[in-house]
A and B are shown apart, each in its own frame.
Chain A
Amino acid sequence: MSERRGLALLLAPYLLGLTVLIALPALVTFGLALFEYDLITSPEWAGLANFRELWGDDIFRRSIRNSLMFIAAAVPLRLLGALLLALLLHRQFRGVSAYRTAAYLPTVIPDVAFALLMLWVFNPLYGPLNIALDAAGAPTPQWLTDPHDARWAIVLMSLFQIGEGFIVALAVRQSLPGDLYELAEIEGAHAGYLFARVTLPLMAPALLLLLFRDTIFSFQANFVPALLIFDGGPPPYATTYLPLFVYTNAFEYLRYGYAATATLVMFGITAAIVLAQWRILRRWRVASSAA
């Protein structure tokens, strides 16, 4: 068997899965957005009616606003968390493997188990978070009942599941040549200068990739906790994010065409945000490299 053929054979299962599970449903979604379909009766041509309805849907607007607010708060914090953990744990010291494992572990916990665990953590009466806050004399938010606090609870939850970003940032930090840092030590660069002028710019390409990836990921990441812990509430729709809106319309109201339309809009918003980030950061990189 030729090498090319062997490689193609190895790639085949992945390509098959990609086609059947991702590419085809994505194509179907494009078509479905133009129909009204409830899985029981035949699809009914709707043209752009779903888009028009979506435009006037107040719950949809709320879910977009919730999703954008979540991304604005969670993505920078998640990225910062991954970077700080990588900077803290890139050196070799006693017990570092245990710390790295602890940083990664919440990411591999199944979403449902994690959500149930956090339901206990956020409990206003016996949850450890509010007990600790109370002991420290800090205000105790009503995580499960107050709309504002509930949104922050979801952001807080997402900050524990940054293992993948942490691993990438750790690998990138470890790949930076040690002699650059030794040289900087001899040349008298203090830690802040070194971070701003050397570490951050050298890690920037990977951090940018993480930023794009996390933006895309964050649109979907809050689905399970929003559904299991808050069921889209507390009222009025405080944690109804775009994925939950799509889910509710598709599987509770059996409006597959409408859900497909919302999915396309979600896809469009994600692409627009990533494109905007890319353009801004490209300008920033050009400016900073010329300085």
Chain B
Amino acid sequence: MAGLQLVGVEKTFGEVQILRGLDLEVEEGELLVVLGPSGSGKSTTLRIAAGLEEPSAGTVHIGGRDVTHVPASRRNVAMVFQSFALFPHFDAARNIGFGLSARGVKRDDVDRRVQAAAELVGVGDLLHRRPHELSGGERQGVALARALAREPEVFLLDEPLSNLDAQLRTRTRAELKRLHGELGRTMVYVTHDQVEALTLGDRIAVLERGLAAQVGTPDDVYRRPADRFVASFVGSPTMNFLPPDAAARFGLGGDGEIGVRPEHVRLGEGEVEGEVVIVEPAGSEAFVHVDAGGPWLVARVQPEELPEVGRRVRIGIRPGDAHRFDAEGKRITGHQ
């Protein structure tokens, strides 16, 4: 088992700089989620860690060893691809045992380790099926079992749930969390899905244009976002932002922009009045869009508290719930 460090990693493709001096440290046994929008460099980060790309500058370390120029095959990492990358002409057993067979492990050992890995992810009964005979979730299981079978030091997972339907995604997410708890292996998990990031990660690294905007626990990233980008990217619906003049009406005067999460926009409190313009029931919760004579605010409410469209409501924001950002977008003070 080993940790993973990226130090000052840069990557340029032609004229385009994807990574701009990224520093990232994954502790031994930790599950770090790399979260970011398209083009932020999260997949490139993973590919550099895997050895599929060489960094333009900076170094990569696994278990304290500098592997920057070590080929992928000798880094002792395993990768789960978004597409699962299953060989269509092999059955599940041969897919799972591919790396072991390629490295010349004896047939008996391959069979034993394939069976053990398959049992661990619940695909032990499907070993003789080919990929086209498996469901999306089962394919994902086979791809995961293949990563496990070789017992690598570091697991690299590139959006492994994005090809699954919503229900299966939720179930597999929980399964992955259980698996990580059971194995205690170092894992780097790339996703653009903040729910996956918040539910799975021991820590989250939020990437913005090739740099880590924030690295912290899910609680840190959600409650104490380092800057406006993290605050706006993490959380759904996104944080409400009020310019200083609009914030002053809520008793939040001062320099800088104010950010407030939808669950902290309180209907029926305060002095400011607004008109309900949209209501969005979402099962166990609901979202209300209110036009308060400036920017629209989104409030998260209980479904039974849902007001009608067109009704005027009072809106309040408690000072302790607000985040204040300076002119550069850095968070100055805010909700703890």
Contacts and interface: CB of A to CB of B under 8 A. Distances in A.
A177 interface: yes
Interface string A177-192: 1011011111111100
B102 A187 contact: yes
A41 interface: no
Contact of A188 (B52, B73, B88): B73
B81 A183 contact: yes
A180 B81 CA distance: 9
A289 B89 CA distance: 7
A183 B85 contact: yes
Nearest to B150: A187
A280 to B, nearest CB: 19
B72 A186 contact: yes
A87 interface: no
Given A179-B81, A180-B87, A193 B52 contact: no
A186 B156 CA distance: 11
A127 interface: no
Interface in B99-120: 99, 102-103
B130 to A, nearest CB: 9
A25 interface: no
A215 B243 CA distance: 76
B86 to A, nearest CB: 8
A186 B102 contact: no
Given A182-B52, A202-B88, A289-B89, A190 B102 contact: yes
B77 interface: yes
A179 B83 CA distance: 8
Interface residues of A, number: 18
B95 to A, nearest CB: 10
Contacts of A180: 85, 87
A198 B90 CA distance: 9
B102 A188 contact: yes
Interface string B189-224: 000000000000000000000000000000000000
Contact of A186 (B52, B83, B87): B52
Given A180-B85, A289-B89, A186 B77 contact: yes
A23 to B, nearest CB: 38
Chain A interface mostly: helix
Interface string A191-231: 00100011001100000000000000000000000000000
A187 to B, nearest CB: 3
A177 B81 CA distance: 12
Contacts of B102: 184, 187-190, 193, 197
Given A182-B52, A202-B88, A289-B89, A189 B81 contact: no
Contacts of B146: 187
Contact of B83 (A177, A193, A201, A202): A177
Interface of A: 177, 179-180, 182-190, 193, 197-198, 201-202, 289
8 contacts: A182-B72, A183-B98, A185-B52, A185-B71, A187-B98, A187-B99, A202-B88, A202-B89
Interface of B: 50-52, 71-75, 77-79, 81, 83, 85, 87-89, 98-99, 102-103, 146, 150
Given A177-B83, A182-B85, A186-B99, 19 more contacts: A179-B81, A180-B85, A182-B50, A182-B81, A183-B81, A183-B85, A183-B98, A184-B98, A186-B51, A186-B77, A187-B78, A187-B99, A188-B99, A188-B103, A189-B102, A197-B102, A202-B87, A202-B89, A289-B89
What are the 5 tightest A-B residue pairs by CB atom distance, in nearest-first order? A187-B99, A189-B102, A188-B73, A183-B85, A179-B85
